[in-house]
Amino acid sequence: MTNLISAEGLKKLCEEYDYLWKVERPKVVAGVSDAAAEGDRSENAEYIYGKKRLREIDRQLKHLGSRLKVLKAASAPPHPTTASFGCWVTYEEESGEERCYQLVGPDEFDVSIGRISIDSPVGQALLHKKVDDEVTVRKPGGDMLVTITAISATRSAS
C-alpha cells in the first residue's frame, strides 16, 4: 500500500483521529458508564450498544494511528509531464467518453469526486504515462484502451 497522501488528506485524517479521541470516545465512555450504573448489563441495550461502538472507535483509532505514523505528505509537481501522485489525468476511452481523475493515495480516494488511488488498476495503468500515450486498463469486464489527453497539477487545466 502506498504511503503517500496530500497535505489536505493528511489534515483530514488528523482531524478525524482527534475528533474520535477527544470528542466521540469520551462521549461513548460516559454513556457506557451511565448505562453500567443502571444495573443488569446483560439486558441493557444502551450498555451493549455503547461497548460495541467503543470497540469500533478503538479499532478506527488504531487503524488511523498506524497509518498516520507512516504517511508522507506529497503534492503534484507544478508542471507535470508524466502522470504522477497528485496529478489530474484526463483520458479518452475508445467510446469517445472523456474522464478526468486525480491520482491520490489509498487513504483518500473517492471516485465520486474524481480521486482514484495510484494503487488501483486504473491508477497503476496511468502512472508514469505521458499525454498521447495509449494505455491498456485492466478491468473485471475486460481490458479497455484509453488515450491520455491531458496531465495537469489542477483539475481546471485539463
Confidence (pTM): 0.81
Which band of pLDDT confidence, cut at 50, 70 and 90, is reported for residue 157? very low
Task: Give the CATH number of domain 88-157.
Answer: 3.10.50.30
Residues 40-53: tens digit of each pLDDT:
777 788 899 999 99
Helix (H), strand (E), coil (C) string for the chain: CCCEECHHHHHHHHHHHHHHHHHHHHHHHHHHHHHHHCCCCCCCHHHHHHHHHHHHHHHHHHHHHHHHHHCEECCCCCCCCCCCCCCEEEEEECCCCEEEEEEECCCCCEHHHCEEECCCHHHHHHCCCCCCCEEEEEECCEEEEEEEEEEECCHHHC
**Domains of the chain by residue range:** 4-73, 88-157
Domain 4-73 has CATH 3.40.640.10: no
**pLDDT 10s digits, 123-142:** 999 999 999 999 998 888 88
Please report the pLDDT score of residue 156 as a whole number.
Answer: 64
